Chains A and B, each alone.
Chain A
Amino acid sequence: MSNIPGAPGAVDPATAPEPVGERKVSETLHFARRNPKLLIGSGIVLGLLLLGLIGPLFVTEGPNVYIGPQSQPPSSEYWMGTTSFGQDIWAQFVHGLRSTFITGALGGGIAFVVGTTVGFVAGYKGGLVDEILNMLTNVVLVLPALVVLIVAVAYLDVRGLVVQALFIGLTSWPWAARAVRSQALSLATRDYVDLARLSGRRTWRIITTEIAPNMSSYLVMSFILLFGGAVLIAAGLDFIGLGPTGGVSLGLMLESAVQWSALQLGMWWWFIPPGAAITLLVGSMYILNVGLDEVFNPKLREL
């Protein structure tokens, strides 16, 4: 779910960033500070991150412990109310937020590493290697990731955050590979890359020192999109009951709310917060991405 058609990460090769010899850092900062999309987006993401990092430290009992009265609406004692078993939803929420960040970072990170590696190698090497890698990318791109994941995860007896993130990462990389490939293709034919090649440097060195730095902003944006995608896929898996066994996550909260008919009982505090947190997190990441794009890409600033 990481690919929004035409999202900033998915622009045509035609709009590929020009290689910038020395980007003036101060100039970038100047535009970054004046970009409301970037500021609001990153503010919300950082706020949620802090909540996920610090929140659980102030929750004394575990998130799934039955502590309070059952089915209580939000109050001063139970900030987000309790479930129909008397679990504190605030405790579940902050712990769930933390695991959401872990799955997003791990899953998105793995997809990023695989995707950029495949994309760079395909775009730079060209020829047969490119053909094969491109074919592989397209095959994985066409297969519906969530359905593949459902079947794969269904066979696992013990599931954890890391395993889930690993599976997500291994199925959601093709989009990034495609984007990076098209960028690398356009950069690989530039003069300075040819020069480096003539001087006999290793392929890997050329990719890491000549090509990658010139598309660093692009790479950052790809990672953010993959992060958001991983969060959404994980929530989907958790929702159908394939989440981490014995753990807590925002998707699992939604699942148990539906399973124990929170909707019919009118317990809105059980299913509104987790879904809202996912939407807010992923949405502000996307908006932050647009802001980043505007900062790095002078053409877009003028609009």
Chain B
Amino acid sequence: MWRYMGRKLGFYGLTFVIAVTINWMIPRFMPGDPVRSMLNRASISDPEALERMTTYYNEVFGLDTPLHQQYFAFWAGLFRGDLGVSVWLYPEPVTDIILRHVPYTLGLLIPAIVLSWIVGNHFGAFAARGKVLDNTLLPVGYVLTATPYMWMALLLLWALGVMGGFFPTAGGYGFALTPSWSWPFFLNLVTHWFLPFLSMFIVGLGGWAIGMRNMIIYELEADYSNYLQALGAPRRLIRRYAFRNAMLPQITGLAVQLGTIIAGALLTEIVFTYPGLGTLILRSLNNNDLFLLQGIFLFVVIGVLIANFIIDIIYVLVDPRTRVQMTGGSS
């Protein structure tokens, strides 16, 4: 078990190094000069100011030193929590801006992932009960996973927000309120949170239901199910065993799907202008704030790696085979 964990940690470490390297390489090895195009898009007409800003940004980016020095400086800054200074919200550090937005994204993501995973799994197991049920629920599940996150968000926003008027249509909390630890503010927060959450939940549901349905059918055809059936075990018992065995691949599926779900959360936030990382990405793109964009990239990658590691730990706790190895049993 410790060897397993060590290998996993090593893998995540390597992935992190590669991600940081990619993030460092993109502005430096893409065709064209990033500083020049950033300034071009900001349309500064005075040539002298342009010159000064170019030198300034080159210095901030550290583009005026040899490549290997730039690379190590990048890492050193990273460990100090220094991701540079935002261009758009100058002179606020990128790290501070990101930390201000992260709670909203997490508040949206975690409930949506956990609930859609649990409900979807039960739904899928339920769908595998009979042919008629399967044939009606299966296409619905596939259409749901095929729905782009932002479109589901747009539909809900339009139907329940704009037309119905049941929920606020934008922002993380009412414009008239200042954040505080009080009931009215909390309730306001929840009403703003609900629609983005719901749209992510619905899209996620379909994928988990289908995955579970496929796994359950496979497990119900396995030898142990047939054996139990031959022994005359009640169908409920067989289903319970099948369900438990089908859960393991679904946990792996959770790890694999994480990147997709996070991307979905970012797109959903943009529709609702929810003040999380997604909206921040859009703002930094619109304001040509490439420092901020790169900072968000690193944050998301770190988040994905931590989440994957947590899923790995859960997997060890749930999977009896890894536990056997842990206690030194034969493997």
Contact = CB atoms under 8 A, between A and B. Distances in A.
Interface stretch (B54-62, B74-82, B204-212, B233-241): B204-212
Interface size grouping (class) on chain B: 35 or more
B112 interface: no
A241 interface: yes
A86 interface: no
Interface string B199-225: 000000001101111110110010000
B294 interface: yes
Interface string B15-55: 10011001100110011101001000000000000000000
A46 interface: no
B270 interface: yes
Contacts of B281: 150, 240
Interface in A236-252: 236, 239-242, 251
B26 A3 contact: no
B115 to A, nearest CB: 16
A1 interface: yes
A236 B150 CA distance: 8
Contacts of A283: 139, 142-143, 145-147
A144 B210 contact: no
Given A4-B210, A5-B253, A146-B259, A152 B26 contact: yes
A25 interface: no
A279 B267 contact: no
B151 A143 contact: no
Given A5-B207, A5-B253, A151-B297, A236 B214 contact: no
B282 interface: yes
Contacts of A135: 11, 14
B162 interface: yes
B103 interface: no
B69 interface: no
B260 A254 contact: no
A275 B271 CA distance: 13
Interface size grouping (class) on chain A: 35 or more
A5 B34 contact: no
Contact of B263 (A11, A138, A147): A147
Contacts of A78: none
Contact of A279 (B139, B148, B208): B148
A15 B304 contact: no
Interface stretch (B93-101, B152-160, B177-185): B152-160
B83 to A, nearest CB: 13
B260 to A, nearest CB: 5
Nearest to B206: A4
Contacts of B32: 155-157
B68 to A, nearest CB: 21
A295 to B, nearest CB: 16
A156 to B, nearest CB: 7
A235 B37 CA distance: 25
Contacts of B14: 135, 139
A187 interface: no
Nearest to B161: A263
B271 A3 contact: no
Interface of A: 1, 3-8, 11-12, 14-15, 37, 135, 138-139, 141-148, 150-152, 154-157, 175, 228, 232-233, 235-236, 239-242, 251, 254, 257-258, 263-264, 266, 268, 271-272, 275-276, 278-283, 285-287, 290, 299-300, 303
Given A157-B32, A241-B285, 5 more contacts: A6-B210, A142-B12, A143-B18, A263-B161, A263-B162
Interface of B: 11-12, 14-15, 18-19, 22-23, 26-27, 30-32, 34, 37, 131, 134, 138-139, 142-143, 145-151, 154-155, 157-158, 161-163, 169, 207-208, 210-215, 217-218, 221, 249-250, 252-254, 256-260, 262-263, 266-267, 270-271, 281-282, 285-286, 290, 293-294, 296-297, 300-301, 304-305, 308
